[in-house]
Amino acid sequence: MTELDTNSIRKEFPILNQTIRGKRLCYLDNAATTQKPQFVIQKISDCLTNEYAAVSRGVHYLSQNISAKYEAVREQVAKFINAKNPREIIFTSGTTAGLNLLAYSLSELLLKNDGAILITAMEHHANLIPWQMAAKRYGRQLRVLPITANGELDLTNFEKLLDGVKIFACTHSSNLLGTINDIKELNRIAKSYGAITVFDGAQAIAHNRVDVQEINCDFYVFSGHKIYAPTGVGVLYGLGELLEQMPPFLTGGAMISTVSFENTEFAQYPQKFEAGTPPVIEVIGLGAALEWIEKHGGVEKFAAYKNALRAEFEAELNKLDGITIHGKSQNKTALTSWTMNGIHPHDVGTILDDCGIAVRVGHHCAEPLTKLLQVPATIRASFAIYNNSEDIKQLIEGIKTVQRFFNC
């Protein structure tokens, strides 16, 4: 398909064909998780019905067949982010698992003797707490790169903060502000100071064409469920030379070469980091989602459409009184966070739910950032390819209903 037919695309998502509290379902919580198209649902169902078996666990036909398909998805993911070698793709249970793996293994490799860790003020808890714990474990300093008033990274003292840093961990895109960071440039500067770079791509992967070779990063991590795949599967991309040196995070089956009661020799990467029974169904679902995205024109076309929706929504939102939008970078993903004067975000979310509208309220697992904004929480609407102007109209009317309820 050369042009996006979003009305037809919307029909591919069965869950959207329902009403909530008697209202048309307006699902705008896509930064939390996306809904799944019938194509992905069917692929998962077909696998469970006709092909399911344990990966790399048997010589029988079913095991050999599903193992080949599982590894084909690894190749598919490598192509999707332009990794040099499919072996540099490690399947995890999600972004959080990938970042925890790195916080453990990289810290074990790099922080035993010296070094600091640098993160940013806009990190999700998943790219903050693991590094915080690593810093405490090794007695190292955890530094924080601040943000500006419009929600962008403040790079004034970036190079000064990098002095002595062994690991620089940064979000590609903020899940609260929507800001897209120039990670190629951040990576260049950080590596010039000798830092190993880790980028959290959970929010960005659905909105940007990611090319890890062009970025030249050491590690890039994302989740499947943010891009129309099921939960329970994520991707950790890492440079082979570093993966070779890193110790495993989890141990058990599949990640070994030989075992005796006295000693264990680990398998090569990626298997070294994939302990336990592999997430067969989830990985098949991820492959289906990537196939579906490419079938409909690819990430770039999706992003252009979704960004147009966000701009349309923010233009309507700015016409209302008592609204503050948080995150005013010119380079944003398709999400908007805002607050309403005198109204708690949780009250807003409750009333919107009664209007059939699903948004996210809270600190979005970015509590330190919320505190910097000096608000208790925000309301967040995030757009996917199945959203449209009707969703925006419904949301704006819902916000007006909130204002009338509180006499604002």
| Tens-place pLDDT, residues 196-249 | 999 999 999 999 999 999 999 999 999 999 999 999 999 999 999 999 999 999
Helix (H) or strand (E) holding 200: strand 196-200
- Domains 6-30+298-405 and 41-295 fall in the same CATH topology: no
- 196 Cβ contact list (under 8 Å, min separation 6): 106, 110, 166, 167, 168, 218, 219, 242
Question: Tokens 């037919």 label which residue?
Answer: 5
What are 256-307's pLDDT values in tens digits?
A: 999 999 999 999 999 999 999 999 999 999 999 999 999 999 999 999 999 9
Q: For residue 56, what pLDDT band results from cuts at 50, 70 and 90?
A: confident
Taking the C-alpha atoms of residue 330 and residue 179, their distance in angstroms, rounded to an integer, is 8
For residues 46-72, average pLDDT: 94
Q: Which CATH class is domain 41-295?
A: alpha beta
Domain segments of the chain: what residues?
Answer: 6-30+298-405, 41-295
Average pLDDT, the chain: 96
- Indicate if the pLDDT at residue 1 is higher than 60: no
CATH superfamily to which 6-30+298-405 belongs = Aspartate Aminotransferase, domain 1 (3.90.1150.10)
Q: Which of 393, 248, 218 is nearest to 317 (CA)?
A: 393
Are 383 and 305 within 8 A, CB to CB?
A: no
- How long, in residues, is the chain? 408
pLDDT on residue 2? 41
Q: What is the distance between the alpha carbons of residues 270 and 243, in angstroms, rounded to a whole number?
A: 8
Active site residues: 365
Backbone angles phi, psi at 285, to 5 degrees: -65, -40
What does pTM read for this prediction?
0.97
